[in-house]
Structures are given as structure tokens and as C-alpha cells.
Amino acid sequence: MGRRKSYNRNELIAKAMTVFREHGFAGASADMLVEKLGVNRYSLYAEFGSKQGLFDAALERYEEEFVGRRFGPLERPDAGLNEIRALLAFYGERGPEAAGGLGCLLCNTAVEFGPLDPSGAGFVQAYFERLFSAFKTALSNAKAGGALRPGADIESEAGFFTSSVIGMFVMLRAKAPEAMLKGASNAAIAHLEWLRV
Amino acid sequence: MGRRKSYNRNELIAKAMTVFREHGFAGASADMLVEKLGVNRYSLYAEFGSKQGLFDAALERYEEEFVGRRFGPLERPDAGLNEIRALLAFYGERGPEAAGGLGCLLCNTAVEFGPLDPSGAGFVQAYFERLFSAFKTALSNAKAGGALRPGADIESEAGFFTSSVIGMFVMLRAKAPEAMLKGASNAAIAHLEWLRV
DNA sequence: TGTTTTTCAGAATGATCGTTTAGTTATATG
DNA sequence: CATATAACTAAACGATCATTCTGAAAAACA
């Protein structure tokens, strides 16, 4: 039995999420990670194998925590239009100071890497599918309960809401003017209310 | 009078746009730029001063050509809902194979740099303002001509359409499933038609 | 033809990159 | 207390980075 670890893996991943969210994968150097995570580089490589390995762990954690927290409510069997509305309102109310220009890590990664998937883990595609599916689930529930306007195309509406929230993530990331963000959320909510019968 | 240039500045910028669009700023090395632009590195630095200078020229060109081409129609004094519809249809019909997973250079840059503006030229903020303003112009024209549903909040709708197209740019960039993209465009168009009287 | 000027081709510079290494330190066990 | 083991510290490694430099080549002019 040798020297005990003076770091906690989960804490490292949590800090890494913030660094990668702010700087991207390419913009976050190993030196920066060492400094901001407060751990020596030997332990970083021992624990995660590589910078890419740490990045993958951060993406996975982000999916579980952040995406799960925000989109989980839409995935519940009893989810409906109210859950969608709460989500849209949440993002619209945040304003440019919220999350300090970080945006969504998975959305940022989608843009940074484009169609490439260096680790082959498919985090970005899974993310898109999850958002799309969450909206479809909630809309389908609303339809089954007779709460959705007849003739509403669930596939289209789900794609629409997915692209709306992704657009909001980009605006949050780049600290776009607040009027744009609030407008985006308000109009999306108005459209949602129109869908409701 | 000495040796003549064997490169054309405008051609270099056009090629640079594609390289930066695909790889981002950080992901495009000087070696890569030299190779793909077909020019020697001395000329590159002589012409643009730095990699950042070339990048800025690419952003400016992109704004003029691509953003101008797509959003220019919305900025015309006679622009209305038809121009918005054509724009949404254009992006929705492209599919994941279009533009080879490139997305929109300015949108990609917004995500890559977040709130930072290394060159201080404000290209990203100007881009957001332009998109927002273009939608506002077209919607205002429609309202003035009595073609817009009474009570429609132009600021909200403009923010909404801005976030929708930005969301589509991210989907195009990351080659998201085609159903999501088509759905996003179709629902946005349906919403636009609902706004029309 | 020689000279001057500009661009090209390739190498070099100093710094940074991701990752590994070697010596030291801290811990548990016998 | 001595030993073995694991983590820490700091440096090093080989490669890449953006930018500059140097000699060669190409062009126009006298």
C-alpha cells in the first residue's frame, strides 16, 4: 500500500467539464487542465489515460448531469407540454450573464468537431437523438392525452424545438444580445401554446 | 520591379474560408493553410500579417458573400414573409450531405470563441445583430403591409427565427439526423404561415 | 547583361503541445 | 524501524505551433 490519492476522480471530471466548456477541447491545454483541476499531470494521465480520455469522461458526465437534469423531465412517461414550456422558459430567462458564456458542452463539441468523432464514442449523435427523442416523447404524450392540436406533425415540431434550444445554446455561449434570447424563448413558448388545445 | 505574385489574394481568402469552416481557427495549422491554399508561408504572412489576420479576412468575406447571399433578401425594403420562408426552406432542404459538415463559419466561430473576441473586430456580434435585424425588417414590412397576424410580437418572432436557423447551422455542421433538420425547417415554416394573415 | 526588387522554397526560431520519465515523498504493512 | 508501493514534483521528450529568416529564383528596368 503506497501513497494515497489527494484528488477525487469525480471532482476532477466536474472541473474538467467547466474548462472544456469554456475553452473547447483544442483550446484547453494539458498545462491549463493541470492548473485548473489542481492535480499533477502524472495523476491526470494515470487516471484518464489521455487528454481525450478526460474529455470523454467530461462529455459523459455532462450528458448525465446537465442534459439529464434539463431534458429528463421531458422523458418521463407523464411528460407533456408543460415540461417543454418549463424548459424553454428556463433557457429564455437565463440571460447572457448566466453560465458565463459557456453554453452547452455537447453543443459546443458538435460545432468544434463537426462530423468527426475522434473518440468514436458517438456522444454528439447520442445527444442530438436524446434531445429530439425527448421532445417527441413529450409531444406524443400530449397528443395521446388529447392535449395537442390535431394535425400537429410531431416529428416536425420536435425538430423545431430541438433546433430552437440549440440556437439558444449558441446565443448563450456567445453572449448574444438578451433581446434575441428572450425573443427566441418567448416565441417558442407562444408556438407551444398554440399547439395546445 | 521584382518577382510577380503567383497567388491571388481573393482566391486565398476563399480557400481559407473553407479550411477555417471545416477545422475552426485552432484546428487549422499554418502548415495546413500553406498546403490547402497552395501558397508559401512567407507570402501568407506578408499578405495577411498573421494567421489571425487571415482568419479575420475570411470572416469578413464570409459575412459579405454567404450571409449576404442568404440574408440579403430579407434586408430589402420590400422583403416580407416570402423571403423568410425561402430562407427556411433553403436550409431545411439541404440535408446532412450538403456543405459537407461545414455549417456556418460565423456560427462556428461564435461557439469556438464564446464571448471572447481575439481580434476585437466584433464579427460575431455583428453577425447576430445582422440576422436578428434581417428577420425584424422582413417581419416589420409584413406588418406594415397588413400581412402579419395582429398581436404578433416582432422582437420575439425575430429572436425565434434567429435561434431556429442557428440551430439548423449546428445540425448541418454536425450532420445531425435529417429528420431533425427537415422537421425544424418544416415547423418553422408552418409557424411562419400561421403568422401570415 | 547587370542591377534592383519582390516572391518563393525551405529551414530555423522560440514557444507550446501531449505524454512520459526519474527522483522524491507519503503512506501502509511487517 | 525498514520495506514496498503508490502518488507527487519537476523535468524531459519528440512533435507541432506561429512566425521569421535566408538563400534562390523570377521579374522589370537601365
Tens-digit pLDDT profile for residues A140-172: 999 999 999 998 999 999 999 999 999 999 999
Residue B56 has pLDDT above 70, yes or no: yes
Cross-strand partners of B196: B148
Q: What is the pLDDT of residue B98?
A: 62
B51 nearest nucleotide via C1' and CA:
D18
Query: Which of A183, A150, A151 is CA-nearest to residue A164?
Result: A183
Average of per-residue pLDDT across B45-72: 96
Are the C-beta atoms of B98 and B172 separated by less than 8 Å? yes
For residue B30, which nucleotide's C1' is closest to its Cα?
D18
The interface pTM score, or ipTM, of the predicted complex is 0.93
Is strand C in 7 Å reach of the CB of B82? no
The alpha helices in A38-195, defined as continuous H runs, are 41-48, 51-62, 68-75, 81-93, 105-113, 123-144, 154-174, 178-195
Q: Which long-range contacts (CB under 8 A, 24 or more apart) does A138-144 make?
A: A138/A74, A138/A79, A138/A80, A138/A81, A138/A83, A138/A84, A139/A81, A139/A84, A139/A195, A141/A77, A141/A78, A141/A79, A141/A80, A142/A80, A142/A81, A142/A195, A142/A196
Residue contact B159–A187, C-beta within 8 A: yes
Q: List the domain boundaries for chain B.
A: 60-195
- By Cβ distance, the residue of A174, A187, A188 closest to B110 is A174
What per-residue string of b and e applies to B122-158 under the rule 16 or more CB within 10 Å gives b? ebbbebbebbbebbbbbbebbbeeeebeeebebbbbb
| Nearest amino-acid residue to D20, taking CA and C1' | B42
Which of 3.30.365.10, 2.40.50.140, 1.10.357.10, 1.10.3470.10 is the CATH number of B60-195?
Answer: 1.10.357.10
The CA distance from B51 to A113, in Å, is 20
Residues 6+ apart with CB under 8 A from A5: A43
With CA atoms as reference, the chain B residue closest to A168 would be B163
- Strand C bases contacted by the protein (CB, 7 Å): 4-11, 16-22, 25-29
Please check whether residue A184 touches B, CB under 8 A.
yes
Q: How far is the CA of B13 from the C1' of D27 (A)?
A: 25
Gap from A183 CA to D9 C1', in Å? Answer: 52
The answer to whether the CB of B165 falls within 8 A of the CB of B66 is: no
Task: Report the residue count for chain A.
Answer: 197
As a whole number, mean pLDDT of residues A71-90 equals 96
A92 touching chain B per CB within 8 A: no
Chain A residues 110-129 with CB within 8 Å of chain B: 110-115, 124-125, 128-129
Closest among A74, A86, A192 to A136, alpha carbons compared? A74
Using the CB atom, is residue A29 less than 7 Å from strand C?
yes
Given a cut of 90, whether residue B28 has pLDDT beyond it is yes
**Is 80 exceeded by the pLDDT of residue B99?**
no
Mean pLDDT, range A186-197, rounded to an integer? 93
Question: Taking residues B58-78, what's their average pLDDT?
Answer: 96
B41 and B34 in contact (C-beta within 8 Å)? yes
Q: Which three cell numbers stand for residue A18?
A: 467547466
Nucleotide nearest to A6 (CA to C1'): D7
Structure confidence at residue B37 as a pLDDT band (50, 70, 90) = very high
Flag whether pLDDT at A94 surpasses 80. Answer: no
Structural domain A61-195, CATH architecture:
Orthogonal Bundle (1.10)
C27 nearest neighbour residue (CA to C1'): A3
Q: Which nucleotides of D are covered by protein (CB under 7 A)?
A: 4-11, 16-22, 25-29
Q: Which nucleotide is nearest to B48 (CA to C1')?
A: D19
Chain B contact probe: residue of A180, A189, A194, A195 with most B CBs at under 10 A: A180
